[in-house]
Amino acid sequence: MKRIIITVVGKDTVGIIAKVCTYLANNRINILDISQTIVKGYFNMMMIVDMTESGKPFSDMSDELFQIGEEIGVVIRCQREEIFDSMHRV
Amino acid sequence: MINRFEVDETNEMIEKENLDVRTITMGISLLDCISDDPDKLNENIYNKIVKKAKNLVPVGREIEKEFGIPIVNKRISVTPISLIGGPACKTTDDFVRIAKTLDRAARDVSVNFIGGYSAVVSKGITPAEELLIRSIPKALSATGLVCSSVNVGSTKTGIDMDAVRLMGRVIKETAELTKESDSLGCAKLVVFCNAPDDNPFMAGAFHGVTEGDCVINVGVSGPGVVKTAVSKVRGENFEVLCETIKKTAFKVTRVGQLVAKEASERLNTPFGIVDLSLAPTPAIGDSVADILCEMGLEYAGAPGTTAALALLNDQVKKGGVMASSYVGGLSGAFIPVSEDQGMVNAVMAKALTIEKLEAMTCVCSVGLDMIAVPGDTEETTIAGIIADEMAIGMVNQKTTAVRLIPVIGKGEGENVEFGGLLGHAPIMPVNRYSCSDFVNRKGRIPAPIHSFKN
């Protein structure tokens, strides 16, 4: 399984989740977990996704999601799950 | 499964606390490049480095992108050139030609630095080693990316005082030849005792003869992360303080281990070691001195500094050792002056002197590092400072080093700007009493009694 952590942070607006999810669906990237909150008008979301079925290289996905984020005024960042696993799991 | 708090914690470390992997260093053996024909030798060296390291920088960037962790430097270390150049080099200029070849190869594979213009002369000097050492000033002034180191002593062999004396002169000559850029050449020159074979950090990295053909070593960093963690336990007892540092060091080192493993796989090169070092940069918040202040000192250098640093260094190791399968290199807190804004502040406040820094080097890695001294400091005085630092390493069975910059044309209290990661520094006063009759004695200081362990 190729698990990626996607974090989205920025000013809240309509359709952030919709935009991100549409992109993921179009690229056959499966969502495993979503956690989202709004603090003082700031949107903060973390998704765990699996891109095993997606033919897209990581680098392209990362760049395209970053671009979508720019369009809607949020920062979207993709990181492979291993960095968090290695830091927080023994 | 990973939760949001863990993701946020990691990303805050990266974004706000300057967590990074300081360097991926590829160690390359040049032993199979040896030839008695200078043309062939230089061609072999260039070809081997470019062949082995051509993917180092692209792979480093790929890892940075996929994990979202900055990898500040990609570097190369090579076998000490004194061992490689011997048969072909008859003059110092022959060695300088190799330095230029190293520089060209490093530029062509886009690394930040290449280390290994080195000699290991802990007990005695061969003619080739002496030629290399004498060529260092010219080599460092004629190149940009080449770093040089000379190991002049060890616990097992004692201190080669002939080499110490020679290095006093070489440092002064290097300063003279690079005086147009505030004697910057000296920032690329380190004198060692007990130099490790697998150090990934510059300027002292070389690929020792105990190593294989090619290896990946990684140096982690993270003073800002430790400082933030320590700030959350203000006023708590030492047990809490130590546990906090240890846990933080574990997390930082795990990132280094992951990067090392990935780089090793992608470059199809064996993983060597992770160097558990707290390496500061001039960036605000990326300072080892600031950790000491956060622990309760007004400035680094105040009474209590050596104890605080000993504690810090030990906890970093204890946390880091479990996080990595192989630990090596220098592994400890670095205390350079110019590369650490907190240290610079301490010097400006007259809280920190060379003598206090010397005491601090007894309990951490590595030594008197990136210290600007007046340009008219005598070469024998520099040799005396080196001898003192080497003695600390020899007796305490640890690595110690000296990287002093006598800034030609400048004196005590003036400021010197090196730029980039090398930072800036106020020129520190040096004890003016002479040691020339001592350092001018020939020969070597014998190994200490506790080195005879067989």
Q: Is the pLDDT of residue B182 over 90?
A: yes
Span B83-106, average pLDDT: 97
Domains B25-193 and B219-451 share a fold: yes
Residue type for position B323: A
- Going from N- to C-terminal start, the domains of chain B cover 25-193, 219-451
pLDDT attached to residue B421: 84
Alpha helices in B232-378 (DSSP H): 238-266, 288-295, 305-323, 341-348, 354-360
Q: Considering just the CA atoms, what is the radius of gyration of chain B in Å?
A: 21
Interface of B with A in 10-49 (CB under 8 A): 10-11
B70 CB within 8 Å of a chain A CB? no
Give the DSSP letter string of B154-196: ETTTEEEHHHHHHHHHHHHHHHHHTGGGTTGGGGGEEEEES--
Handedness of CA B338, B73, B259, A23 (dihedral sign): positive
List the end-to-end C-alpha distance of chain A, in Å, as a whole number.
20
Span B338-347, average pLDDT: 96
| CB spacing of A80 vs B66 below 8 angstroms | yes
Instruction: Return the CATH architecture of domain B25-193.
Output: Alpha-Beta Barrel (3.20)
- Number of domains making up chain A: 1
Q: Is A5 helix (H, G, I), strand (E, B) or coil?
A: strand
Q: Is the pLDDT of residue A90 over 90?
A: no
Min Cα separation B262/chain A (Å): 10
pLDDT attached to residue B149: 98
> What would the pLDDT profile of B68-79 be if each residue is shown by its tens digit?
999 999 999 999
Rounded-to-integer distance, Cα A85 and Cα B16, Å: 20
**Which single residue is written with the structure tokens 């080196």?**
B386
Tell me which chain B residues have a C-beta less than 8 angstroms from the C-beta of A46.
4, 7-8
> What would the pLDDT profile of B267-276 be if each residue is shown by its tens digit?
999 999 999 8
Q: What is the pLDDT confidence band of residue B428, given thresholds at 50, 70 and 90?
A: very high
> What would the pLDDT profile of A46-66 be if each residue is shown by its tens digit?
999 999 999 899 999 999 999
Domain B219-451 listed as CATH 3.40.225.10: no
pLDDT attached to residue B226: 95
Span B390-396, average pLDDT: 97
Interface test with A, best of B1, B5, B6, B7 (most A CBs within 10 A): B7
pLDDT attached to residue B390: 97
A39 CB within 8 Å of a chain B CB? no
Q: What is the ipTM of this complex?
A: 0.91
B69 CB within 8 Å of a chain A CB? yes
Residue type for position A76: I
Q: Is the pLDDT of residue B401 over 90?
A: yes
Q: Is the pLDDT of residue A32 over 90?
A: yes
Question: Which residues are B118's β-sheet partners?
Answer: B149
Rounded-to-integer distance, Cα B7 and Cα A83, Å: 9
Of chain B, the percentage scoring pLDDT greater than 90 comes to 92
A1 CB within 8 Å of a chain B CB? no
Q: Is B300 helix (H, G, I), strand (E, B) or coil?
A: coil
Q: Which residues of B246-266 are buried (b: 16+ CB within 10 A; e: fewer)?
A: bebbbbbbbbbbbbbbbbbeb
Query: How would you classify residue B64: left for phi > 0, otherwise alpha for psi between -120 and 50, otherwise beta?
Result: alpha
B449 CB within 8 Å of a chain A CB? no
Q: How many CB atoms lie within 10 A of CB B181?
A: 12
CATH number at residue A51: 3.30.70.260
Q: Give residue A21's domain range.
A: 3-88
Q: Is the pLDDT of residue A1 over 80?
A: no
Question: Helices B238-266 and B223-231, interaxial angle, to 10°?
Answer: 150
